Amino acid sequence: MKISKSPWVLHYDGSSCNGCDIEVLATMTPLYDVERFGIINTGNPKHADVLLLTGGVNAQTAPVIRQLYNMMPDPKVVVACGICACDGGIFKECYNILGGADKVVPVDVYVPGCAVRPEALIEGVVKAVGILEEKKKKLKESMKAGYCTVDYSKIAIHMTADDYDPTNQYDAVLTEEALRQQAEEKIKATAKPAPKPAPAAAPKAPVAAPAADNTKKGENA
Amino acid sequence: MTVTIIVKAILYIILAPLIGGTLSGLDRVFSARMQGRQGPPLFQPFYDVFKLLNKQTTVVNSIQVLFVTGYLIMTVFTGALFFAGGDMLLVFFALSMSEVLMVMAAFSTNGPYSIMGAQRELCQMMCYEPMTLLVAIGFYYANGSFMVNDLIQAEKPAIMYIPGFFIGFVFILIIKLRKSPFDLATSHHMHQEMVKGLTTDLSGGNLALVELAEWYDLVLMMGIVGMFFITANPISRLWAIIAVSCVFFLETLIDNLFPRVKYITMLKVTWTVILVFAGTNLLILNVLK
């Protein structure tokens, strides 16, 4: 059984013109019937797997989006719905708009459109669900390795606009690679110096060397 | 004798989630068809629970996990006691205990939606608890025993003596199964004023445990509905199954027909129904004796 059979979505409007919101809600209606894919619109970040973001992000909604993202349990994916959520769209140059949703949270799927079509949105969520499946595998691997993909001590929740500083926001959530590097460095630092892999590797080396010699000779000849 | 009891209890523990999950899937398919859409696959609830088990579990505090696990264990205990042929009174008391544990889990999170849900759940309990107790008493009046084992050996079905109790019980099932006019504590349909009420602050594995407990609860409730029809005659079991299917379909229909009401309306309506049907029935039984 795959976890992609029941993606529960959460929809948040970060300063959208409401065009995309109407389309998102239209997708949830009996006409398009997304429940046949197991998709349910939960109003609750703690139950959600997919975060649908509409509209460009401004200074007031950025901390809210970050908090919603942080409250969702792993594995989770973010879908930017509509061109404004993708990169700011027509509002990009506005003084209060920070840009697309990827300015505050890592976005997995970009669904363009003004406003986004329900068909495109369903396609986007289906793509996101594939990513969700991959993320689940990665999460399991990282749990086995002994570290989690998200470092919760690093997550800061900013509740007011004054608190918000766009220069340090995105760094609060570390990428998976950065976390893995950090964890590996930590493991290296704390672990005892590893015993040399001499006995196992020693007999292999001489075998490899002549082979290399042979090829060299062959090339030369 | 003890061996058969243990076997029945174990059968319930194994089969109830399968039956309960399928029933809840059927419920969703029926609802979808009533709304003119295709709806999810029949086994969607199983996919949901499987997914929840694979998700990260974030807990607000550690006592929450204890209460949620306790809720599941008490619900399983209640059902096992019923299907193993135990005491009806004890079944209903253990059932209230499990509900109280769920309410405690919601209160312990200290979140506004959870607490609102917990308070509403207490209101709901106030509405249906009298009826559950009356059902046990009704069975005693009908067949002279509180033990399920004795009740299923009755010569005439209990519904002949206590039809009023049956109507009252089917009515409170709307509350117990969290169906629409009375789904105050956990609004089942998409985001409403209280998000998900009781279960708002549960995630991942904990939410899966709650879903599982609800399946056990569903099977137990359907079992009690069947009890009204079962006699010593084996054919009565067929009637019981037909009755259970009818009641289950009726609950889904009611769920799709009515919008949610306020708790005061729920209290008035439920108690009126209980008083009119079950109360009158109890009086008549008393007079006839």
Highest mean pLDDT among A139-143, A212-216, B24-28, B178-182: B24-28
Residues of B with CB under 8 A from a CB of A: 28, 32, 35-41, 44, 46-48, 50-51, 54-58, 190-192, 195-196, 199-204, 207
Tell me which amino acid residue A30 is: P
How much is the pLDDT for A197? 54
Tokens matching residue B277 = 């049907």
Among A155, A20, A170, which residue's Cα sits nearest to residue A80?
A: A20
Tokens matching residue B125 = 């309990």
Contact (CB, 8 A) for B35 and A30: yes
The pLDDT tens digits of the residues spanning B125-149 come to 999 999 999 999 888 888 888 888 8
Which among A33, A38, A41 is the nearest to B47, CB-wise?
A: A38
Asked if A3's CB is within 8 angstroms of B50's CB, the reply is yes
Min Cα distance A70 → chain B (Å) is 11
Q: How far apart are CA B228 and CA B225, in angstroms?
A: 6
A102 CB within 8 Å of a chain B CB: no
The pLDDT tens digits of the residues spanning A132-170 come to 888 888 777 777 766 555 544 444 443 344 544 554 444
How much is the pLDDT for B189? 65
Average pLDDT over residues A173-194: 65
Which among A3, A37, A43 is the nearest to B51, CB-wise?
A: A3
How much is the pLDDT for A16? 87
Classify the complex by whether its ipTM is higher than 0.85, answering yes or no.
Answer: no
pLDDT at B232 over 90: no
pLDDT at B213 over 90: yes
At how many degrees (to 10) do helices B163-176 and B112-143 cross?
160
Cα–chain center distance at A64:
17
Domain range annotation of chain B = 2-288
Contact (CB, 8 A) for A124 and A36: no
pLDDT at A179 over 60: no
Tokens matching residue A97 = 């708009």
How much is the pLDDT for A161? 47
Asked if A49's CB is within 8 angstroms of B40's CB, the reply is no
Average pLDDT over residues B196-220: 90
How much is the pLDDT for B73? 94
Q: Which residue of A has its CA nearest to B50?
A: A3
A43 CB neighbours in chain B (<8 A) are 190-192, 195-196
A35 CB neighbours in chain B (<8 A) are 28, 32, 37, 39-40
